[in-house]
Structure 1
Amino acid sequence: MTNYLLCCDWGTSLFRLQLLKLSDYQCVGEVFSPEGIADTFDAWQKTGETKGIAKKHFFRQQLKRQIDVLARKLSISLANIPVVISGMASSSIGMDEVPYATLPFAVNGSQSSVRHFEPQPDFPHEIMLISGVRSEKDVMRGEETQLIGLVTLFGLSGDGNREAIFIFPGTHSKHIYMQEGRLISFSTYMTGELFALMASHSILKDSVDRTHLTDFSEGNVRAFRLGVHQSVSTGILNGLFTIRTNQLFGKFTKTENAFFLSGLLIGSELNHLLAEERWPLVLCSGSRLAAFYKLAIDELKLSARTTFVPAELIDKAAGVGQVILFQNQALKVTAR
């Protein structure tokens, strides 16, 4: 099984493990779990730490359990196959804290910050733990690995002169500036987290119903577009209270208000791109958020300079990036 790699994307709230072929990035099988880094760290503090179990060993145990699940699912042995891990596993609450790489950062992965762990008697896998990237005022873990994969999958790896802003929507959205084959800057937007807070824990919670956010009916789409427009015309602070008066005055239903809130927040995230006229845009969104961001980009009249990456490429990007990083590290070792 030397032609395979176990690729683990271990985020704050989700865990994904794939078995990929090194030759063509084909996924042989995968498993998902809601046991993200935050829950695993909490479990270690509550049970492992009190029993004297080292944090790295505790995380290895959790990882081994998922590898065993995948092995049973595929009916094969996965022993001795290396594991590459990206995401929050390299953070202070992860398996082991690894220093960030710094800018400018080559999108071929040659400047990635990684840490290696040798196989153990109870864990027959080499581990390569990938850290994130930092600037003077911002950090990210995981999106840079996705970007490395996307550059390859999207055919940009040979285009050294390409420049673009890559938009990664999410709880903490990232806008990543790539120029001449390097990541030169990036910014984080707390769009998803703010939506959850406003809809569930603020004065607006009784004015919003977010249980029907897959219903792109005419009224909901209109409310979303009005939210995007208000993010430009009056800004987010005034726009947020408008959600309250929308309900009080019977202008919107609670579902329409949820779409309005989404448009207001996504519009606030994206409207600075109006001034970035010379930069092409690349929307890197899976199916869950893609429709919202496409609507906002259309409302802001940014569609003409935006490339929309297909959801299936987004789904493959992290794993492909991990394979590329693993192969680059192997080449470094060979060169020595």
Structure 2
Amino acid sequence: MENYLLCCDWGTSFFRLQLVHIADYTILDQEVSPDGIAATYNAWKLDAAGEAVPRSQFFRRQLHAQITRLAGRIGMSLDHVPVVISGMASSSIGMEDVPYATLPFALNGSRASVCYFDSQVEFPHDVYLVSGVRSGEDVMRGEETQLIGVTPLLGTVDRKLDDAIFICPGTHSKHMYVSQRQLVDFHTYMTGEVFNLLATHSILKNSVEVEHLTASLAIDPEAFKLGVREADACAILNRLFTIRTNQLFGKLSSQENALYLSGLLIGTELKPLRKPEKQELVLCCGSRLSPFYTLAIEELGLAERTTILSPELVDKAAIVGQVMLFQNHQKPEKEVVK
């Protein structure tokens, strides 16, 4: 099984394990579950009260259960296949608290912070635990792995991207500034989290309907585009309250209001990218958010400067990044953790 790698993305609220053929990044099968880092950490605290199990051992036990399920489904042993883990598993509530890498961060992954765990009798897998990156005032975990994988996949893109801003939307969107094949700065925008908080826990929750939002955008995008434009022209805290009055005065339906809210927040996030005007933009977006960010980029007049990567390529980038990290950080003896 030396030609295979187990690639694990272990986030706060989700878990994904994929068996990957190293040579061509083909995914043979995967195991997905809601057993994210937060739930696993809470389970360890309850378990540790009775058994005093070391945290890293408990996490490996949970990981082994997922590997066993994957092996059973594909009908082959996965013993001794190495595991690369990125995401929140390297945080203070993860498998091991691993220090962040610092800037500038080389896009070949050579300066990544990786902690190596040797295989054990009860867990016959070498583990490569990838930490995130920090700046003077910001942090990321996982997006840097995706960025490492994206850059070699850009060979089919005509634009020169040695000096570019990579946009990675999500709950906490990242704008990653790349120069001379290095990540030199990045900024986090709480766009997705703020949308969810306002739509479910604020005075606006009865004024918006968030179900079928993507379908609503495809049918009638005008409310979304209005939100993007007004984010450009007005104070965001004032415009947010108009979502309430839009409903009270019958100006927009609840579905239109949800699109308007999305447009306001995404427009506010993207506005700073209009300067510097000469810098290329690269949108690295999954299928769920791609229509929203693509339309917002067009509405803000950024389309000519923007390379929009397909969601399929973005999904593949995380796998490529993990394979590259595995190849660049094999068994760093001074960091061995037993």
Shift of 1:331: 9.3
What is aligned with 2:130?
130
What is aligned with 2:168?
168
Shift of 1:42: 1.3
Point out where structure 2 has 5 or more consecutive residues left out of the alignment: 334-338
Q: Deviations over 1:50-83 (max 9, x none)?
A: 4211111110011001101110111100001111
Q: Confirm whether residue 246 of structure 1 aligns to residue 225 of structure 2.
A: no
Q: What amino acid maps onto 1:19 in structure 2?
A: L
Name the CA distance, whole Å, in 2 between partners of 1:243 and 1:262: 11
What is aligned with 2:144?
144
Name the CA distance, whole Å, in 2 between partners of 1:219 and 1:85: 39
What is aligned with 1:104?
104
Q: What amino acid maps onto 1:3 in structure 2?
A: N
Q: Confirm whether residue 323 of structure 1 aligns to residue 323 of structure 2.
A: yes
Cα pair 1:114 1:129 within 8 Å, conserved:
yes
1:282-301 equivalences in 2 (<5 Å): 282-301=282-301
Shift of 1:316: 1.2
CA-atom RMSD in angstroms = 1.8
Shift of 1:189: 0.2
- Following TM superposition, the consecutive aligned residue runs of length 4 or more in structure 1 with deviations greater than 6 angstroms are none
1:219-298 equivalences in 2 (<5 Å): 220-298=220-298
What is aligned with 2:70?
70
Shift of 1:235: 2.5
Deviates further, 100-109 or 314-323: 314-323
Distance 1:247 1:189, change over 3 A: same
Distance 1:192 1:198, change over 3 A: same
Name the CA distance, whole Å, in 1 between partners of 2:331 and 2:121: 27
Identity across matched positions, percent? 58
Cα pair 1:220 1:259 within 8 Å, conserved:
no
Name the CA distance, whole Å, in 1 between partners of 2:28 and 2:306: 33
Shift of 1:271: 0.5
Distance 1:128 1:271, change over 3 A: same
Shift of 1:38: 1.0
Cα pair 2:166 2:284 within 8 Å, conserved:
yes
SS of residue paired to 1:27 = strand
What is aligned with 1:215?
215
Name the CA distance, whole Å, in 2 between partners of 1:217 and 1:113: 40
What is aligned with 1:314?
314
1:179-194 equivalences in 2 (<5 Å): 179-194=179-194
Name the CA distance, whole Å, in 2 between partners of 1:219 and 1:12: 33
Point out where structure 1 has 5 or more consecutive residues left out of the alignment: none
Q: Deviations over 1:227-265 (max 9, x none)?
A: 011111112111100101110110000010000000000
Cα pair 1:12 1:36 within 8 Å, conserved:
yes
Deviates further, 94-103 or 316-325: 316-325
What is aligned with 2:22?
22
What is aligned with 1:56?
56
Name the CA distance, whole Å, in 2 between partners of 1:77 and 1:31: 15
Shift of 1:156: 8.6
Cα pair 1:49 1:55 within 8 Å, conserved:
no
Shift of 1:46: 2.1
Name the CA distance, whole Å, in 2 between partners of 1:253 and 1:168: 30
SS of residue paired to 1:214 = helix
Shift of 1:219: 6.9
Distance 1:258 1:199, change over 3 A: same
Deviates further, 169-178 or 233-242: 233-242
Shift of 1:49: 4.2
SS of residue paired to 1:193 = helix
SS of residue paired to 1:318 = helix
What is aligned with 1:43?
43
Q: What amino acid maps onto 1:167 in structure 2?
A: I
SS of residue paired to 1:53 = coil
Cα pair 1:219 1:256 within 8 Å, conserved:
no
Cα pair 2:116 2:331 within 8 Å, conserved:
no
Distance 1:67 1:233, change over 3 A: same
